Amino acid sequence: MLEYRHINPDDISSSATADVVDAPMVGKMRLALAIAMLLTLYTEHSQLASGNEAVWIVFGAYAVHSVVLAIGSELHKPFTRGKLIHWLDVAWFGLIVFSAGRASSVFYLSFLFAILTSSFRWGREEGARVAVASAVLSLACGLGSFVEGDLPRLLLRTAFLLSLGYMSAYWGESEVKLKHRLALLRDVTRLSNPRFGVDQTIHVVMMNIQTFFKGSGCILIMQDADTEACSLRTTGTTGAASRAGASTAHDVDAALSTSLLKAFRNEVVVYQRRKLRWLKSNEGCFAYDSTAHKWMGVTGQAAKAAADLLDSSHFISAPLSLRKGRGRIFVTFNSQTFSRDDAIFLGHAVAQAFPQIENIELLDQLASHAAIREREKIALDLHDATVQPYIGLRLGLNALRNKADRDNPLVGDIDRLIGMATEVIADLRGFTSRFERSPRSAAPAMQESLKKTAAQARALYGLDITLSMEGLPEVSDRLAVEVLHVVGEGLNNIRKHTSAQRGFVRLKTGNGQLCIQIENEGNDKPFTAFKPRSILRRAAVLGGSAYVVQGAHGGAVVHVEIPT
């Protein structure tokens, strides 16, 4: 299975936009620029200010700086991909322009290199800051070596840096935003582990969308076409999100569905609330007409009622493309930090994600129904092949007991055998009954089963097990069974292969993983690495991995990681 990961725009900036692929190219171009400036200085040094040696030192030092960065980028050193690098370029170019000595010098064009690299690697804000800094520094250096007649050229090059810098920052922002959106589309179409159920997959998609748009909350409402029942899922802490769980659906009444579903047609919607009463253009609801490819104003109180219900002054919303039913997703904001293009992209994102989610749900239902039928068959087989022979054994023992005299020395042993057979029959009947029933969400049952397993290990083998379960999600019965098998195998390994009297079992979720740790206390024997083959095979089937390390208590720790 693929990894479950929350999108962080800052992480995208440091990985997708400033990656190890772009850094070597930028390093080579910087070195080529430094060499070109040295050649230009060599051919035109007589026209520069006084032709002193200081200018050669500055140009040579920048060439050395470029060589170091080029080598570092080829070796994929992290320092070559940070924001500090283009700010160092700005400082170097300012020093170069100042040392060149003339406001008409062509070396001011080198500022464009810093503007372009910052814009296309970090976006509009960073590119605009570098453009303004470059223009100011270029103007200051020109005034420092001002000669009569250079003022028009000085003003022209400052305006040139500002205008071209802003254009580069705008285009760079488009590329960065495109990479961000591609990353979101990649992540919302990734399938989280089906064994965690469709609710977990929907929750992952909602969290990725909320994080991408930097919203305060994400609300999803869906209505079944047959039953007309409505369900609500939320993330964040805004409005209804503070009253509902994170990854499970909650039934809602018809009034809420009417306010959120019927308030708009099958269109992408943007809503912003007016802050200044006299500025009427600052409030409005707009819907995107996909046929005419234009935005239209929406009148009426439905949008304001929906905003009040969501407890948000700004939101964007898009309809869901569902096979059976209808739905709508809302991303709420505390301030207007979105654009209309963001709302259109939200519609594209959910149009990609939710058809796949419906396929997961359908496959999950088919697998569950097949599992139920298989359980029923196995339960019948267990009853006929296992329970019935024990019943026959008990009947035979009862017949043998009736034939024996009261003073027969074997009477006590026969009674004990009859009692053991009765207990085994009761246990087997209880097991087949529980096995036949299959709860859809098995997280509470799994926790109780783990506690029961730990209690049995303490009662039967004197093995004291400490359980720790942190933030376990709702899991399906199939995954719960696999987790119980892994823990049971780990406890059996402690009992069979160590002399430990204490053990530790920890289950937690984080970084897109369900982590299981099974540890035994250390003894005087040195730690020896090993591979638990059964646990390794189970982890591999679940799309995860397992490994063994030495724990803090001196014993072995079996780490099992299952992607969610």
- Sheet containing strand 268-272, edge to edge, reads 250-252, 230-236, 217-223, 326-333, 314-319, 268-272, 284-289, 294-298
Q: Return the pLDDT at 15.
A: 41
Tell whether 384 is covered by a domain.
Answer: yes
Question: Across the chain, what does the average pLDDT equal?
Answer: 76
CA proximity to 195, closest of 526, 518, 529, 477:
477
Task: Identify the helix (H) or strand (E) that includes residue 540.
Answer: helix 533-541
Question: The CATH number of the domain where 263 resides is what?
Answer: 3.30.450.40
Residues 553 and 405 in one domain: no
Q: Interior CA angle at 467 toward 462 and 468, to 5°?
A: 165
3-state secondary structure of 475: coil
Tell whether 382 is covered by a domain.
Answer: yes
Residues 34 and 181 in one domain: yes
C-alpha to C-alpha distances, 71 to 26, 74, 118, nearest whole angstrom:
11, 5, 20
pTM over 0.85: no
Q: Is residue 356 classed exposed, middle or buried when 0-12, 13-18 and 19+ CB atoms within 10 A define those classes?
A: middle
Q: How many domains does the chain have?
A: 4
Candidate ranges 142-146, 203-207, 472-476, 507-511; pick with highest mean pLDDT: 203-207
Ramachandran area for residue 561 (φ above 0: left; ψ -120 to 50: alpha; else beta): beta
At residue 224 the predicted structure's pLDDT band, cuts being 50, 70 and 90, is confident
Q: Return the pLDDT at 243.
A: 37
Tell whether 3 is covered by a domain.
Answer: no
Tell whether 366 is covered by a domain.
Answer: no
Residues 263 and 343 in one domain: yes
- Residue 401 near residue 411, CB atoms below 8 Å: yes
Compute the distance between CA of residue 133 and CA of residue 149 in angstroms, rounded to an integer.
24
Q: How far is CA 212 from the centre of its chain?
A: 10
Residues 154 and 76 in one domain: yes
At residue 11 the predicted structure's pLDDT band, cuts being 50, 70 and 90, is very low
Domain end among 410, 436, 462: 436
Which of 201-210, 309-318, 375-384, 428-437 is predicted least confidently? 428-437
Q: How far is CA 244 from the centre of its chain?
A: 21
- pLDDT above 70 (res 477): no
Q: What's the average model confidence in pLDDT over 470-499?
A: 76
Q: What's the average model confidence in pLDDT over 279-294?
A: 69
Residues 249 and 339 in one domain: yes
Bridge-based pairing state of the strands 314-319 and 284-289? unpaired
Residues 432 and 448 in one domain: no
Q: What percentage of the chain reaches a pLDDT higher than 90?
A: 1
At residue 278 the predicted structure's pLDDT band, cuts being 50, 70 and 90, is very low
CA proximity to 469, closest of 483, 457, 459, 479:
483
Per residue in 402-417, pLDDT (tens digit) is 877 777 777 777 888 8
Residues 338 and 378 in one domain: no
Q: What's the average model confidence in pLDDT over 2-6?
A: 35
Q: Interior CA angle at 125 toward 94 and 187, to 5°?
A: 130
- End-to-end, the C-alpha distance of the chain in Å comes to 8
Q: Return the pLDDT at 67.
A: 92
- pLDDT above 80 (res 178): yes
Per residue in 306-357, pLDDT (tens digit) is 777 888 888 888 888 777 778 888 988 887 777 888 888 888 888 888 877 7
Residues 261 and 379 in one domain: no
Residues 138 and 209 in one domain: no
Compute the distance between CA of residue 375 and CA of residue 435 in angstroms, rounded to an integer.
7
Residues 403 and 456 in one domain: no
- Residue 295 near residue 327, CB atoms below 8 Å: no
DSSP alpha helix (H) spans, 317-410: 340-382, 388-403
Tell whether 365 is covered by a domain.
Answer: no
**How many C-beta neighbours within 10 Å does residue 490 have?**
25
Question: The CATH number of the domain where 473 resides is what?
Answer: 3.30.565.10
Residues 92 and 177 in one domain: yes
- pLDDT above 80 (res 507): yes
Q: Return the pLDDT at 48.
A: 54
At residue 9 the predicted structure's pLDDT band, cuts being 50, 70 and 90, is very low
At residue 6 the predicted structure's pLDDT band, cuts being 50, 70 and 90, is very low
Q: Return the pLDDT at 254.
A: 65
By residue range, what is the domain housing residue 315?
192-354
Residues 264 and 203 in one domain: yes
Compute the distance between CA of residue 367 and CA of residue 478 in angstroms, rounded to an integer.
10
Which of 241-255, 311-325, 538-552 is predicted least confidently? 241-255
